[in-house]
Each structure stands twice: as structure tokens, then as C-alpha cells.
């Protein structure tokens, strides 16, 4: 594969997959770009003095990945607080499925 072949992938549509989400039924999640995943991990890192700690942020994972069948995001920046109020029985499985689809293990950024 050449450099141009690889860079052409940046223009490819994002992959979308269906996830069963309890009371929500079936929802779709899309993959993140490398830059989006880096932003997610950065948002999950809390720096205090000389120490940094990685914290869970499943609501951000949902905001960044839950989409319609065509890959259009359903949530906007600022929706994280409302998403965090979802029952854990919905929030955790969808966030973990989204992270697994991204190849990041689960939505725990420490695991990625």
C-alpha cells in the first residue's frame, strides 16, 4: 500500500455498526478518526499539579459515536450531562460496544 492509498482512507465514509441498547432498542455507533479518539482520550485525562489521572467518560463516548444509520451524529457538544443521566444499563453497554468497535477495548480510556 502506498502513502497515497493510505491518505485516501481519510476521505472514506466512517464505518457504522448497530448496537442493542436495552430500552433504546437498536442504536448505531460510528468509528472515530484518530484525531477524534485523541480528543476523547485528552478529555478523559485530568491533570493535577504534576500528576495526571485518566477518568471514565462514557457519556462523551456516546456523544462522539451514537449516530443514525448514515453516520450522522445524534448528539451535540454539551449533551454529555444529559447522557450521563441515562441508566447505566443503557450507557455502559453502548459506550463499551462503541469503544470495542473502535478497537479500544472498552470505554474505559485506561484500557485503550
82-102 pLDDT per residue, tens: 999 999 888 888 988 888 888
Comparing 21 with 29, the larger pLDDT belongs to 29
Residue 42, judged by CB atoms within 10 A of its CB (0-12, 13-18, 19+), counts as: exposed
Per-residue cell: 32: 472515530
The answer to whether the beta carbons of residues 15 and 8 sit under 8 Å apart is no
Q: Compute the distance between CA of residue 66 and CA of residue 80 in angstroms, rounded to an integer.
A: 12
What is the torsional sign of CA 34, 36, 40, 42? positive
Closest by Cα among 21, 34, 48 to 112: 34
pLDDT digits (tens, 9 = 90+) for 52-72: 777 778 999 999 999 999 999
Domain ranges of the chain: 15-101
Q: What is the CATH superfamily name and number for domain 15-101?
A: Phage tail assembly chaperone gp13-like (3.30.2220.20)
Amino acid at each position: 500500500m502506498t502513502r497515497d492509498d493510505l491518505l485516501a482512507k481519510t476521505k472514506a465514509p466512517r464505518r457504522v455498526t448497530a448496537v442493542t441498547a436495552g430500552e433504546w432498542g437498536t442504536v448505531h455507533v460510528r468509528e472515530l478518526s484518530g484525531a477524534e479518539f485523541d480528543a476523547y482520550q485528552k478529555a478523559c485525562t485530568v491533570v493535577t499539579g504534576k500528576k495526571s489521572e485518566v477518568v471514565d467518560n462514557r457519556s462523551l463516548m456516546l456523544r462522539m459515536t451514537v449516530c443514525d444509520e448514515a453516520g450522522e451524529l445524534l448528539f451535540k457538544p454539551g449533551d454529555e450531562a444529559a447522557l450521563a443521566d441515562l441508566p447505566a444499563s443503557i450507557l455502559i453497554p453502548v459506550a463499551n460496544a462503541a469503544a470495542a468497535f473502535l478497537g479500544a477495548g472498552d470505554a474505559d480510556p485506561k484500557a485503550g
